[in-house]
Amino acid sequence: MNFLIKNLFGFIVFTSFILKSFSQSGSEKTVWLSDLDLTKMTCVMGVPKVNTAITGSTLRIGGEEFERGVGTHAYSRMLIQLNGTAKYFTAKVGLDDAAYIAASITFYVVGDKKILWQSGSFKKGDKAKNINIDIKGVKKIGLLVTVNREDISENYADWAEAKIIYSGIKPYAMDNMVKSEQFGILTPAPSKKPQINSPAVYGVHLGSPVLYRIPTTGLRPLTYKAINLPQGLELDKAKGIITGKINQTGNYKILLAAKNKYGEVKKVFTIVVGEQLALTPPMGWNSWYNYYNNVSDSVIRLASDELIRSGMADYGYEYVNIDDGWMKKIDSQAPEDSNSLRDVKGKILSNMFFPDMKALVSYIHSKGLKAGIYSSPGPKTCAGYTGSYKYELTDARTFAEWGFDFLKYDWCSYGSIAKNNSLQELKAPFELMNILLRNSGRDIVFNLCQYGMGDVWKWGAEVGHCWRTGPDLGTATGSFIPGFYNQGILNSSHWEYAKPGGWNDPDYINIGWVGTNKKGSFRKIDLTPNEQYSYMSMWSMMASPLFFSGNLSMLDSFSINVLCNSEVISVNQDVLGKQARIIRNDSSGMIMVKQLADDDLAVGLFNFPGSKTNPVDYFVWDENSNGAKKIKFSASDIGIKGKFRVRNLWTQKNCGEFEKYFEAEVPYHGVVLLKISQ
């Protein structure tokens, strides 16, 4: 009897445990979005905020306050593992009241590669919209906010009262990252035998001083020759530097030669004396993203030294350009800005960190390099230093007297001077400075830095040699892909306006180490190796000015490998002066094609997620994928017929002969850059 009672009691306890366990596993539970690991949230700017807007203030949508939720910058995305045990997702979403007046965003909820809910466009002041969707059986859910105006950064998105009702395994945030394979060093080391890396043509004005360092790789010492050098020019045979003046217009075909103990190389080089400068895109270094306005005579001298020491000058990087901060700051109490901004004759004065501009330029010129300077048509530069407004003639003469070869002219405070945004007002300050530079007696390449206003690509060549087509690129990450990609897409759309003497400028190349806007502080750029190859490839394909703006003294072997591939640079410097066109940009990848001299083509295969018109493409649904894609093009896609030869420009190896199509596997966020010949 006791045995039966004991076993009956055990059966009741066991049954109770099973029923309780079943009841608990089937009961509904709640996890708030704000309780998940927000470090796995991807935002373009800032860090997601728990229970506050991204600004740190109370979540507020259309005047309504919310105590709980997540505030982000848009773009933003989060991928959550549900394991098929979730039941409902609920939230109230909208544009935070602290957003910019013209901000506009859209929310999406994506489940297992299907759009489950979308908000439509949100504007400031719009009331929050309720989300209450059934997610039974969904394994992964993606929460996405996109922007409807790329030119606005204050797009603050709120996921208020956002929660997941589930049973079973608790949902958790996923990395939403591709574990991609990365390229290593692809560029072969330069040969000990000489190789001349100059472009085929070089433009100068009649009677202007000529300074040209023949860019040559190969084991030093080298000796140089220049056969048929025109009258008025002379060559330093040990340094490979051409100087002098040419007093008659024409095209002068010269045979350059460089020799060392391993051999000799020759190259035809044509100096075009006439109306145009910058017959190929200018190349060099700019101080801004490394030093910002903490620039000085010593760091510019160091940069010129490093341009030589690193070997970059041997590949054609020739300009050493000072950006904002060399002059005196208006309304400043700092010692370097004491006394007058200009002398009694109106000549602009450099600050104490630049004691002798003429001597600095002479130092740069002594190495065969060229010097660049910065100003603004407004009364102040972007950083608040002295601009050229009302002193344009004096400044143009001063820059020429100091010996500068390049001027970056930044719109900045001129917006307060312009009467309106008419084309006439947008062109006026650049037209004026262009005339003054042309009459200065020096060849000064003129860079229009006015961020694409007034469709500058349509008229920039009338008043300058290169022009910015968009905002500062900086080191921005863009919308979940590197910022250079979006900037490149924008720049690429103006391909038909690029030509010898006039180039679309998407801003500088920022790889390796850059500054932090804090004096003496630097950081490594947040770009993968694959992305850095893509960056350089895109800029070369677009015939963009090639200006590195990182830290020259911290260059490593990988960065040199990216910046100094002679065959990639030759695509940029091609004498035909054509800019690449995008012939495909979708979820299968992007293909750019650039026409080269001698009927060759350059083709870039980029593994980027295309134009991202589908919200599904913002998420990594297969966490085990390395993201590589096979990208294919046919002969007809690139406008050729018959057989064609393919060469990989990064590895500098021939791929063989093909007839109907070519296909290559391209790593995630990487590129395969090709030269096509027939």
472 included as an active-site residue:
yes
Distance, in Å, from the CA atom of 627 to the CA atom of 130, rounded to the nearest integer, reads 35
pLDDT of residue 336: 85
Q: Which of 297, 323, 324, 410 is catalytic?
A: 410
Please report how many Cα atoms fall inside a 13 Å half-sphere around the Cα of residue 444, on the Cβ side.
32
State which of 223, 255, 274 marks the end of a domain. 274
Q: Which of 126, 472, 586, 617 is catalytic?
A: 472
CA 475 distance to own-chain centroid: 7
Query: Tokens representing 651?
Result: 């590895």
pLDDT of residue 479: 55
Q: Is residue 601 part of a domain?
A: no
Residues 312 and 424 in one domain: yes
Share of the chain above pLDDT 70, in %: 94
pLDDT of residue 335: 86
pLDDT band at 612 (very low <50, low <70, confident <90, very high): low
Residues 362 and 430 in one domain: yes
How many domains, in total, are found in the chain? Answer: 3
Residues 223 and 163 in one domain: no
pLDDT of residue 576: 98
Residues 103 and 148 in one domain: yes
pLDDT of residue 39: 84
Residues 270 and 292 in one domain: no
Residues 135 and 214 in one domain: no
Average pLDDT estimate for 464-483 = 79
Residues 414 and 316 in one domain: yes
Residue 114 CA: distances (Å) to CA of 12, 106, 117, 142, 164: 47, 16, 9, 10, 18
Q: What is the chain's mean pLDDT, rounded? A: 93
Distance, in Å, from the CA atom of 134 to the CA atom of 289, rounded to the nearest integer, reads 48
Residues 334 and 475 in one domain: yes
Query: Does residue 538 surpass a pLDDT of 90?
Result: yes
Domain holding 241: CATH number? 2.60.40.10
pLDDT digits 0-9 by tens, 33-79 = 999 998 887 777 767 899 999 999 999 999 999 999 999 988 899 99
pLDDT of residue 27: 87
Q: Is residue 631 part of a domain?
A: no
Cis peptide before 545 (omega within 30 of 0): no
Residues 323 and 256 in one domain: no
pLDDT digits 0-9 by tens, 290-322 = 999 999 999 999 999 999 999 999 999 999 999
Q: Is residue 508 part of a domain?
A: yes
Q: 673 with 568: CB under 8 angstroms?
A: yes
pLDDT band at 406 (very low <50, low <70, confident <90, very high): very high
Domain holding 327: CATH number? 3.20.20.70
Query: Does residue 638 surpass a pLDDT of 80?
Result: yes
Q: Is residue 670 part of a domain?
A: no
Query: Does residue 13 surpass a pLDDT of 60?
Result: no
Q: Is 177 helix (H, G, I), strand (E, B) or coil?
A: coil
Please state the pTM of the whole predicted model. Answer: 0.90
Share of the chain above pLDDT 90, in %: 85
Residues 456 and 569 in one domain: yes
- Structural domain that includes position 338: 283-573
Residues 330 and 407 in one domain: yes
Residue with the larger pLDDT of the pair 611 and 522: 522
pLDDT of residue 5: 45
Query: Tokens representing 333?
Result: 């109490």
H helices present in 265-313, as ranges: 288-291, 297-309
Residues 130 and 219 in one domain: no
pLDDT of residue 24: 44
pLDDT of residue 3: 44
Burial 68-79 (b: 16+ CB within 10 A, else e): bbbbbbbbbbbb
Distance, in Å, from the CA atom of 674 to the CA atom of 665, rounded to the nearest integer, reads 13
pLDDT of residue 374: 98
pLDDT of residue 23: 40
pLDDT of residue 224: 98
Residues 6+ apart with CB under 8 A from 46: 54, 72, 73
96 included as an active-site residue:
no
Q: Is residue 167 part of a domain?
A: yes
